Amino acid sequence: MVKYENECVSCGLPCLGSGCPNRHVAHFYCDKCKSEVGEGELYEFAGDEMCLECIKAILPVVKAHDY
């Protein structure tokens, strides 16, 4: 999931209000493990937005067959 958070740093400059880039900073969280991941590290899978590690934990591993 993507959450937008206010990261105002009280820079001392005239406030830009909602136009300030620090007012709406995107943070990306895995819907399954709730860990924060970087931009581009969330994947849509099974109706959720998940990190690669959670997706790997769900998918079956392909094994060689004995013939």
Rounded to an integer, what distance in angstroms lies between the CA atom of residue 14 and that of residue 6?
17
- Provide the residue range defining the domain that includes 53: 2-13+20-58
- Domain assignment present for residue 64? The answer is no
With left for phi above 0 and alpha for psi between -120 and 50, is residue 17 left, alpha or beta? left
67 located within any domain: no
Task: Report if residue 43 sits inside a domain.
Answer: yes
Q: Is the pTM of this model over 0.85?
A: no
Q: For 5-45, how does the pLDDT look when each residue is reduced to its tens digit (9 = 90+)?
A: 999 988 888 989 888 989 999 999 999 999 999 999 999 99
Residue 27 lies in a domain: yes
Instruction: Count structural domains, the chain.
Output: 1
